[in-house]
Amino acid sequence: MLRPRIPTMPTPTGIVTPLIVQPTHIEQQYPATACACQHSPAAAPAHGPAPAVRPALQMTPGTLLALVGGGAAVVLVVGAVLVSMLLAVAVTAASVAVCAIVVRSLLNNPHKRF
């Protein structure tokens, strides 16, 4: 009587068409070789590594100043949010403590009040 009953999936009504999945052909693309020069296999190690695809990031003084300013702004905003949340918790805890003291004083001395 108190056992939960799991509902069964209702059977579909009407004409049901099965889902047909068509296989697709996946064409793989291979990356180009590191260098297209024609040299002998003996000279291959002297050729060196392939050139880098992305150049190194160059920082100008303006870019560096913008990054430092942005980071400082993020730190200040996150700090202000965290401090305000801590202050909200502290104010709530203090008000709950005051309410608890008032309720305790009302319950401990009911005959002295009237």
pLDDT tens per residue across span 66-84: 999 999 999 999 999 999 9
pTM for the full predicted model: 0.42
Q: What is the pLDDT of residues 34-66, one digit of tens each?
A: 665 665 555 445 555 555 567 777 888 899 999
Return the C-alpha torsion angle 31, 36, 42, 44, nearest 10: -60
Cα separation, 54 vs 31, in Å, equals: 16
How far, CA to CA in Å, does 27 sit from each of 24, 30, 48?
Answer: 10, 10, 32
* Helical (H) or strand (E) element with 65: helix 61-108
111: alpha, beta or left, given left = phi > 0 and alpha = psi -120 to 50? alpha
Going by C-alpha positions, the residue among 53, 74, 72 that lies closest to residue 64 is: 72
Q: What is the pLDDT of residues 82-102, one digit of tens each?
A: 999 999 999 999 999 999 999
